[in-house]
């Protein structure tokens, strides 16, 4: 059973994601063809989004385009991360040191969501777009964040992730996950191969602080063999740069989110 969504809300976001992917004005037939929606319901949806101020419609070209109201919705949070020189400096320094893709991720319900990337100039890379989400139980950044939670929280996230089949059919065992988490807590980082994108892997560490109560993790990713060969240097760079980040910015953050934190309400992950 996959996680249930409200169809109209889900489709509205999928329309916006299509614009983010194609980055140009789109006609009605392009939208309903690309997304596989009936033309009649697509027309109704697009008109609603125009009336709500989230899409612009040009009668001259018969095309739709997102308005600035869309980007304004989340700018106060992601803009804080992107604009904050502390986060940018951390990501940029790690990218220069490791010469691999470096990403900053936040906890988002049962997922992690990438909010800031810096990529290398070489061709040996595969960089997700900012905003992409991955299941927490199946990503290096997610495992790093799970290591900061209580065992009860982890079990709850594991249970819901399987209920909604967010692991794309590959069976996970709670016992194996908890064994991984205990090891991550001991060594301070997660090293995980990317199942959705075979041939890629990442090493990630929790930042150990929260922003508005949201946990963050930093990771270095790339081709499996490149990350494996450079693992010692990558871990050393992560430890040094995250440590320097904490020292320089300790006054600016909320209380650290340790793995002994109070368990959230049961409905938070539903």
pLDDT score recorded for residue 155: 93
Q: Do 165 and 242 fall into the same domain?
A: yes
pLDDT score recorded for residue 110: 83
pLDDT score recorded for residue 171: 55
- Identify whether the C-beta of residue 63 lies closer than 8 Å to the C-beta of residue 26: yes
pLDDT score recorded for residue 70: 74
pTM here is 0.69
pLDDT score recorded for residue 51: 85
Provide the number of structural domains found in the chain: 2
pLDDT score recorded for residue 11: 87
CA 182 vs. chain centroid, Å, equals 23
Q: Nearest-CA neighbor of 185 among 211, 213, 151?
A: 151
Query: What's phi and psi for 170, nearest 5 deg?
Result: -85, 125
CA distance 91 to 88: 5
CA distance 270 to 266: 8
What's the average pLDDT block by block, 10 residues per block, for the chain (270 residues)?
Answer: 57 87 89 91 90 84 82 61 78 96 89 89 84 88 95 91 63 86 97 82 90 85 95 97 85 50 44
Q: What is the CATH number of the domain that holds 20?
A: 1.10.10.10
- Alpha carbon of 182 to those of 18, 149, 188, 219, 257: distances in Å? 40, 11, 10, 19, 17
Token pair 């063809």 in the structure block, residue: 33
pLDDT score recorded for residue 85: 81
CA distance 51 to 54: 8
Q: What is the pLDDT of residues 105-119, one digit of tens each?
A: 988 878 888 888 999
Which residue segment(s) compose the domain that 88 sits in? 74-269
pLDDT score recorded for residue 265: 45
Q: Do 83 and 215 fall into the same domain?
A: yes
Instruction: For residue 86, tell me if it sits in a domain.
Output: yes
């Amino acid at each position: 059973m996959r996680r249930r969504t409200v169809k109209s809300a889900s489709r509205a976001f999928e329309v916006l994601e299509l614009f983010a992917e194609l980055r140009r004005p789109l006609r009605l037939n392009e939208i309903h063809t690309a997304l596989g929606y009936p033309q009649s319901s697509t027309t109704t949806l697009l008109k609603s989004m125009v009336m709500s101020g989230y899409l612009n419609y040009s009668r001259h070209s018969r095309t739709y385009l997102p308005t600035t109201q869309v980007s304004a919705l989340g700018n106060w949070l992601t803009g804080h991360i992107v604009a904050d020189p502390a986060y940018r400096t951390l990501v940029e320094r790690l990218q220069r040191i490791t010469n691999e893709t470096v990403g900053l991720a936040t906890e988002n319900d049962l997922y992690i969501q990438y909010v800031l990337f810096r990529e290398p100039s070489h061709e040996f890379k595969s960089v997700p777009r900012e905003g992409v989400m991955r299941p927490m139980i199946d990503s290096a950044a997610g495992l790093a964040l799970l290591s900061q939670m209580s065992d009860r929280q982890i079990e709850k996230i594991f249970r819901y992730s399987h209920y909604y089949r967010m692991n794309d059919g590959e069976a996970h065992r709670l016992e194996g996950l908890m064994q991984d988490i205990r090891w991550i807590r001991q060594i301070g980082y997660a090293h995980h191969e990317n199942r959705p994108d075979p041939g890629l892997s990442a090493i990630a560490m929790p930042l150990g602080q929260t922003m508005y109560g949201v946990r963050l993790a930093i990771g270095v990713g790339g081709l499996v063999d490149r990350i494996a060969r450079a693992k010692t240097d990558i871990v050393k760079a992560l430890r040094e740069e995250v440590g320097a980040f904490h020292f320089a910015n300790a006054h600016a953050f909320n209380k650290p989110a340790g793995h002994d934190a109070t368990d959230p309400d049961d409905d938070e992950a539903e």
